[in-house]
Structure 1
Amino acid sequence: MPESSQPNYRYIMDNLFKYVIGTLELLVAENYMIVYLNGATSRKKMPTVGWLRKCYQQIDRRLRKNLKSLIIVHPSWFIRTLLSLTKPFISTKFSQKLQYVFSLTDLAELVPMEYVSIPDCIKEIDQDAHGKVEIAAAAVPE
């Protein structure tokens, strides 16, 4: 993710969102999961609540309906607080799809790991926290 201090940050984020949605629309025919690797994300690189809300509102109904779960790996205190505060403003169905996973071992219990590729920085964070190394991905077909 780009740093929010970049002068063209909004443009980059909007186009990143369009790219991700366009890719999902091509890939998703059935239920799917999204795995968000939060562990190495600095607060400077996290999108704003307003931007996230705008994105959620723009997602096609079919994509929202077929999303089985949004798994957040190594959630920070900040992201958990942010999602707790925004819960009243998002649908109950979507809120129920949110899952926090605190280790790659736990992720392996939820996601078939043959579909997953985890960056080294995430493996290092997990190893520092738990002494184990596993694997994860961006969008995983069910």
Structure 2
Amino acid sequence: MLVLFQIIFGSTVLLICALLHILIIARLVRHLRNNDHFSEDRTTRHQILTVCALFLVLLLSHTLQIYISAFSLWAVGALPGYEAPIYYSLVTYTTVGYGDVVLDPGYRIAGAMVSVTGILMFGMTTAFVVGLFSRILDEKGP
């Protein structure tokens, strides 16, 4: 695969994943603004369940992105079957990178873009969670 095509391919997958993640986070923000789950009148149990639900939704978003990356790599013929693309996408997206499944040289840049996607999306998730906890702690007061 040509280098330019790998960059375009990887960037397209990154943009699709970013749009998905942004839409999910925007939906969560809208839901949190419309329903005050962390006000004083809410029980601690409700607040804990709300945070758990948020984490599950964010986990689902990352999981979908891993499957999008895996499907994309499979679709261009970078990896055969269904297990290898999912496994490769998971360890690359999370930047673990064991190296036991590797791409041919013609797909390496496209594979590296999966790692860039993971770094950016985990950064976005971290920013969202830190902002959420800052807001919760500010509302609770000292």
Larger radius of gyration: 2
Larger helix proportion, structure 1 or 2? 2
